[in-house]
Amino acid sequence: MGNYTGPKVKLSRRLGVPIAETVRHMSLKRPNRPGMHGFRSPRRSLYGRQLNEKQRLAFYYNVRDRQMRKYVKMASVGHGSAAAALRQILESRLDNVVRRLGWVRTIWQARQMVAHGHILVNGNKVDIPSYLVKAEDTISVKDKSSKFVQTCSETCEEKLVPTWLVCEDGKLQGKVLNLPSVEEIRIPFELDYSLIIEYFTH
């Protein structure tokens, strides 16, 4: 899966879940899949279910297959739950943190904002969307970019900043209090992470 640049609402309809947490995605006028046979429920094999769950997660975080495979391998090392570790890794990506802070409306905007060098981590410019933040990291916006980011954040629907982050009202600066636990991670649809792990490990 490459970086998706096509119609986003159509993508949500195809996958059957809101890929972006915006009104257009959360309240689809036509919830069925695109195409003349979209009203039919697809019959999926085990591989088909694994692929569908993988695509939902990958598109929600805007992550390519090669990166996802790397994350699954990282998550599988250790004694804890691979599914929980995978969720924490994805949630800790810098572009997702920018989204969680409410500075952008979608993960695609967040990726672009980071890639264009608008975001600082501990005072240093980081233009890699996949950068993994750590506890105590400070996320801020370049002075020259503050007006642009402020304009973007004003277009966002009201969002609650998760408990593992803190961001003062009206300030374009946030802090990572701790890496997120499973209980602190929220996405707008259910996923079977075991199927995703199986997809990349079998």
**Tokens (6 digits) for 98:** 């920018």
What's the pLDDT band for 141 if we cut at 50, 70, 90? very high
pLDDT 10s digits, 94-110: 999 999 999 998 999 99
Q: Is the pLDDT of residue 35 over 60?
A: no
Domain ranges of the chain: 8-89+187-201, 93-179
Q: Which residue has the higher pLDDT, 97 or 38?
A: 97
Residue 44 burial (10 A CB sphere; 0-12, 13-18, 19+): exposed
pLDDT 10s digits, 45-91: 999 999 999 999 999 999 999 999 999 999 999 788 999 999 999 99
Distances (CA, A) of 31 to 15, 26, 44, 55: 10, 10, 19, 18
Report pTM: 0.87
Closest alpha carbon to 200 in 60, 68, 2, 80: 68
**CATH for 8-89+187-201?**
1.10.1050.10
Q: Is the pLDDT of residue 169 over 80?
A: no
- The answer regarding whether domain 93-179 maps to CATH 3.10.290.10 reads yes
